[in-house]
DNA sequence: AATCGAAGCAACCGCATCATT
DNA sequence: GAATGATGCGGTTGCTTCGAT
C-alpha cells in the first residue's frame, strides 16, 4: 500500500511550539472540537503538520491533563499495568486519568525502570533479575517485549477482539500457571484471571446468576432492546454490583471505586 | 565561571490499523 | 478485495536543564 506524506513538509514549522501557536490551536478546538487533524492546521491558520497538532493537543493542551509529579500510587499502578500489558502505553494511560501515554512512557523510561532495577526486578519481564539472567528465554524477551509479557496473562474465557499476539497459547497451561504463581508472589493482591467481564464470584449462589449474564450485560451496556441473555434486568443490575456498590474490580482484576468505563479500554492492537 | 556528561522531556517519525471509496 | 485516506501508537531523537567537577 502506498503512503502519501501526512503533510506538506516544505511549509510546516517543526520543533517547539510557541505560545501563539498553542493559543491558536486551543481556540480552534474550543470552537470546532477535536478531529479532522489533517485539515485542522490550515483551518486554524497554523503552519504545522496535523499529526503535530494532534500530539500537542493530546499531550499538553487538553484541559483535563493533570500535570505535576506522579504519586506513589500512580507509580505502583503503572508497574502493575506494565507487568500485565507491556509497552501498551495508551492502554496504561487509559487507567490513569489526566496522564498521557507519552508522559507515562517518558516517566517509565526515566524513573520507573531505575526504580525496578534498584528493587532487583527486571523492568521488561517483571521477574527477579537473577532469575531473568538464568532464564532460557531471557534473550528473546528483550526483543519481543510486548508479546512475551502478554503471554504471562491467561484468559479464562474466549476473548473476542484480541489479536493473535494478545491471546495466550492455551495449550501451554502449565507454563501459564507458573507465570501466574510468579506474578502472585510479586503482586499478592492482584487478580490475574484476566477476563472481559466481571470477575467470577466466589459465592456459589452468585455464581449461578453470574453464569447466565450475557456479554452485553457484563459490560454494563444492557438495555432491554440489546440484551439477549436469559436474565431479567434486575438480575443483571444486581449481579454487576457488589455489596458495596462503590467498590468493584475492572477487567484487569484491579480494585476500583469508580464506575467502570470500558470505552477507554481497547485491546485491538 | 566554564565545561561536560547525564537525565528529563517534548516532539518527530515510521508503521499499523481502521474507515471509506 | 484493493486502494487510499485519516488517525493512533510506540520507538527514537534531539534539545534543554541540572549537577558534578
Q: Span A208-237, mean pLDDT?
A: 38
Strand C and A147 CB separated by under 7 Å = no
At A4-27, the pLDDT tens digits run: 455 655 567 888 899 889 899 999
pLDDT class of A104 with cuts at 50, 70, 90: very high
Query: Beta strands A193-194 and A248-249: pairing type?
Result: unpaired
Q: What is the number of other CB atoms lying within 10 angstroms of the CB of residue A174? A: 8
Q: Span A41-53, mean pLDDT?
A: 88
At A134-155, the pLDDT tens digits run: 654 444 333 333 333 333 333 3
Residue A133 φ then ψ, to 5° = -60, -35
Q: For residues A61 and A102, what is the distance between their CA atoms, to the nearest angstrom?
A: 13
Chain B: nucleotides below 7 Å from protein CB are 7-18
Verdict on whether the full-model pTM lies above 0.85: no
Q: For residues A210 and A12, what is the distance between their CA atoms, to the nearest angstrom?
A: 56
pLDDT of residue A253: 52
Q: How far apart, in Å, do the first and last CA atoms of chain A sit?
A: 20
Strand B and A49 CB separated by under 7 Å = yes
Å between A204 CA and C9 C1'?
42
Report DSSP letters for A204-255, one per residue.
HHHHHHHHT--HHHHTT---TTT--SS--HHHHHHHTS-SSTT-EE-TTS-E
Strand B and A111 CB separated by under 7 Å = yes
pLDDT of residue A132: 55
Strand C and A111 CB separated by under 7 Å = no
Provide residues 183-242 of A with CB closer than 7 Å to any strand B atom: none
pLDDT of residue A78: 92
With CA atoms as reference, report the closest residue to A194 among A161, A165, A221, A167: A167
Strand C and A37 CB separated by under 7 Å = yes
Strand C and A4 CB separated by under 7 Å = yes
Amino acid at each position: 500500500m502506498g503512503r502519501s506524506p501526512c503533510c506538506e513538509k516544505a511549509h510546516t514549522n517543526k520543533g517547539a511550539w510557541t505560545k501563539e501557536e498553542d493559543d491558536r490551536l486551543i481556540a480552534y478546538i474550543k470552537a470546532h472540537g477535536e478531529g479532522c487533524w489533517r485539515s485542522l492546521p490550515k483551518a486554524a491558520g497554523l503552519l504545522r503538520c496535523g499529526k503535530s497538532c494532534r500530539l500537542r493537543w493530546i499531550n499538553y493542551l487538553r484541559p483535563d491533563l493533570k500535570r505535576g509529579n506522579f504519586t506513589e500510587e500512580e507509580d505502583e499502578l503503572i508497574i502493575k499495568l506494565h507487568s500485565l500489558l507491556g509497552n501498551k502505553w495508551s492502554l496504561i494511560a487509559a487507567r490513569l486519568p489526566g496522564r498521557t501515554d507519552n508522559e507515562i512512557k517518558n516517566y517509565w523510561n526515566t524513573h520507573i525502570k531505575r526504580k525496578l532495577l534498584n528493587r532487583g526486578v527486571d523492568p521488561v519481564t517483571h521477574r527477579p533479575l537473577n532469575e531473568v539472567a538464568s532464564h532460557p528465554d531471557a534473550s528473546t524477551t528483550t526483543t519481543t517485549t510486548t508479546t512475551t509479557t502478554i503471554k504471562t496473562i491467561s484468559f479464562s474465557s474466549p476473548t473476542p477482539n484480541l489479536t493473535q499476539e494478545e491471546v495466550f497459547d492455551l495449550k501451554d497451561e502449565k507454563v501459564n500457571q507458573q507465570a501466574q504463581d510468579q506474578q502472585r508472589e510479586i503482586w499478592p493482591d492482584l487478580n490475574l484471571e484476566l477476563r472481559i467481564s466481571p470477575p467470577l464470584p466466589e459465592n456459589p449462589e452468585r455464581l449461578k446468576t453470574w453464569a447466565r449474564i450475557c456479554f452485553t450485560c457484563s459490560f454494563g451496556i444492557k438495555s432491554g432492546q440489546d440484551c439477549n441473555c436469559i436474565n431479567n434486568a434486575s438480575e443483571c443490575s444486581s449481579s454487576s454490583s457488589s455489596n458495596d456498590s462503590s467498590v468493584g474490580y475492572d477487567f484487569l482484576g484491579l480494585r476500583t471505586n469508580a464506575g467502570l468505563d470500558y470505552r477507554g479500554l481497547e485491546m485491538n492492537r
